[in-house]
Amino acid sequence: MVFAEDGAPHLRLATEDDLPSLAAMAEAALPEAWPLPLMEEALRLDHHRMVVAEAHGSVGSDRVVGYLLASLVVPDAIELLQVVVAPNCRRSGIATALMHWLGARCLAGGRILLEVRGSNRAAVRLYRRLGFRQLATRHHYYRPAAPSTAREDALVMAFTRQ
C-alpha cells in the first residue's frame, strides 16, 4: 500500500542511504539522469532539497517510491530539478504530493521554475494540472533521448504563488 490512511504518501528528506536507489530510479526513468556522485553532491548542498516518498507496508530501499530534487537558493525563485516516481507506483498521486511539498515552500508572489522535455507528456500534464504555465521554449536543448533521434526542445514552465 502506497498511501497512509489519510490518503497521502509519507514524505521525508532523503539521506545518503537513499541515494543508490534514487540514482537507479533516475537512471531507468530519465535520459538526463544524474549519476550517483552528482546526487551525493546535491544532497550536501545547503540550498538543495531532496525529498523522498515512502510506501507504507514495505521494507528497506523498496519503501522509497519516488523523489523530488529542487534548488531553493532564493525562496521566491525555486527551481525544480527532478521529480521521479517508480514505474509500478505511478498515477497514484505521488508526484503530486511531492510537488505540493515544494509548493508549500514557495513564498507568496514567488515562483517555481522548471524545464521539461516537450515530448514528456506525463510530466507536462502533471505540471499543467498543478498550475504551471509555459514561459518559453529552449530549442534543441536536450540531448536525443535515444540514438538516431533528434535533439529535443525544452519547455520552460513556471508556477506563481498568489
Ligand X SMILES: CC(C)(COP(=O)(O)OP(=O)(O)OC[C@H]1O[C@@H](n2cnc3c(N)ncnc32)[C@H](O)[C@@H]1OP(=O)(O)O)[C@@H](O)C(=O)NCCC(=O)NCCS
The residues carrying an active-site annotation are 115, 127
* 2 binds ligand X, rule: CB under 6 A: no
Q: Which residues pair with 50 in a beta bridge?
A: 69
- C-beta of residue 72 within 8 angstroms of C-beta of residue 27: no
Q: What proportions of the chain, in percent to the nearest 5, are helix, strand and coil?
A: 30, 35, 35
- Using CB under 6 A as the binding rule, the residues of this chain from 33 to 62 that contact ligand X are none
Q: Could you give the 3-state DSSP secondary structure of residue 153?
A: strand
* 125 binds ligand X, rule: CB under 6 A: yes
Minimum CB distance to ligand X smaller for 3 or for 110: 3
* 156 binds ligand X, rule: CB under 6 A: no
Interface segment toward ligand X; rule CB under 6 A; list 43-51, 54-62, 80-88, 103-111: 80-88
Cα–chain-centroid distance for residue 155?
15
Which stretches of the chain bind ligand X, using CB under 6 A?
29-30, 82-85, 90-96, 116, 120-123, 125-126, 129
